[in-house]
Chain A
Amino acid sequence: MDRQSITLTVNGRNFEFAAEPRKLLSDALREDCGLTGTHVGCEHGVCGACTVLVDGQPVRACLTFAIQMEGHEISTIESVGGHGALSPLQQALHETHGLQCGFCTPGIVMTFEAFLRANPDPSEEEIREALSGNLCRCTGYQNIVAAIRLAAARIRESA
């Protein structure tokens, strides 16, 4: 199948490249946009490592073809925080030791950037239910849950 010109809007910037329609969004972000913060784990929608935001909603980049995303706004982990600055959730993950190897972290941060906007005051059960879509193989989930609760409280206070 021939490669086609594809234009993606990622973190407010346009990226134009040539790829086959079968190119996954996760691969296009890493290989064609040079945004390697989006991690690729299972490639069938189970692990959540590749989660990005599409029009503000969390989406598995490995279950999305890049060509489908033309005309949509994609946000990746590179858009969160800034140079030398952490988002409230990143800061909370740092403080509560919510990561070790960090492979799953970008997907968790992107999932909860959206989740905390929609649910600013979640119960622990709601957090755990939402977190069930992101597999972490190092830390266990206690500190990640603690980080999300801490971040939620800080975001509410500053609102």
Chain B
Amino acid sequence: MKPAAFEYFRPVSIEDALRQLAGFAPEGKLIAGGQSLAPMMNMRLARPAQLIDVNDLTELAYVREAGGWLRIGALTRHHELAASALVRRHCPLLAQAAQTIGHYAIRQRGTIGGSLAHADPAAQLPLVAVTLGVRLHLRRQDGERTVDAGDFFLSAMTTALAPDEMIEWIEVPKAQPGEAAAFRLFNRRHGDYAIIAAAATVECEGGTVRRLRLGVGGAAAVPQSLRTLAEAARGRLADDGWVAEVAQAAAQQVAVEEDARVSVQYRRELTELLVGRALGRALTRLRA
């Protein structure tokens, strides 16, 4: 398995990269960690005519505070997300999810911008992005814009990114006091993409739910934030009965697409199980 031929470019600045991207659109492609793009190229599922390597743009690799948000540069690697004190403290859901991506060596290379732009339906970071309501800052040669995660993922491997646009950074809302998060996924082999993944944050006051955010990935073409269900949780007593009720409702409400490999029924059962476990874990953390 060898990739098809391509021309290689190694820009020295963001402007340089955007100029090349605009010049080669729609044939050129950015490569960051390459942990999804390179296998696709090896299998010839992707054959970009030009490859624009942004790995030298270390000005795109950072985590910093920006008011009530954490701003994270697109070239930040998964292992940095998992280990960053800022991410663990302010966006624990993101740190936990990043730790489950692929394998040790994969996490050393893969980047948050790459994972979001690749938009695999079962990937961890797109799920966290829609669950938390992340904002993505996109840049092109002659402009920039900010897009909400809910508007960014259009379909499987398809995003709102124009061919000449790149993700420059994302902003993740900081966790509130009295909030805990948990991420759970199931796959047949450790490190594979999830068959179902569940992401949850629960904010409580005196045992009562103030805010729930709940997302499910792997079920359909894009990860889903279960907003109606989350809104109904406000003011409920956060006990085991509530967890079971939310898990059942999530399994019924989540949109599931048929797949030759995994039945709809099985994905719904996994949704109930994993949402229940994620909520249970988040509540345990809150009580600790």
Contacts and interface: CB of A to CB of B under 8 A. Distances in A.
Contact of A64 (B34, B43, B190): B34
27 contacts: A1-B7, A4-B8, A21-B6, A21-B7, A22-B3, A22-B41, A24-B3, A27-B2, A43-B42, A44-B1, A44-B38, A44-B43, A58-B105, A60-B105, A60-B106, A62-B38, A63-B42, A63-B109, A68-B10, A68-B55, A130-B103, A130-B104, A132-B191, A133-B102, A133-B105, A133-B191, A134-B103
Interface in A17-57: 20-22, 24, 27, 43-45, 48, 51, 57
Contact of A24 (B2, B8, B105): B2
Instruction: Give the secondary structure class of A's interface.
Output: mixed
A24 B41 CA distance: 11
Contacts of A93: none
Nearest to A20: B5
Contacts of A111: 104-105
Given A57-B108, A68-B31, 5 more contacts: A59-B105, A59-B108, A64-B38, A68-B55, A134-B103
A89 interface: no
A99 interface: no
A130 B1 CA distance: 26
Nearest to A57: B108
Given A62-B42, A64-B34, A133 B6 contact: no
Contact of B8 (A48, A63, A65): A65
B39 interface: yes
Interface in B75-114: 102-106, 108-109
Nearest to B77: A57
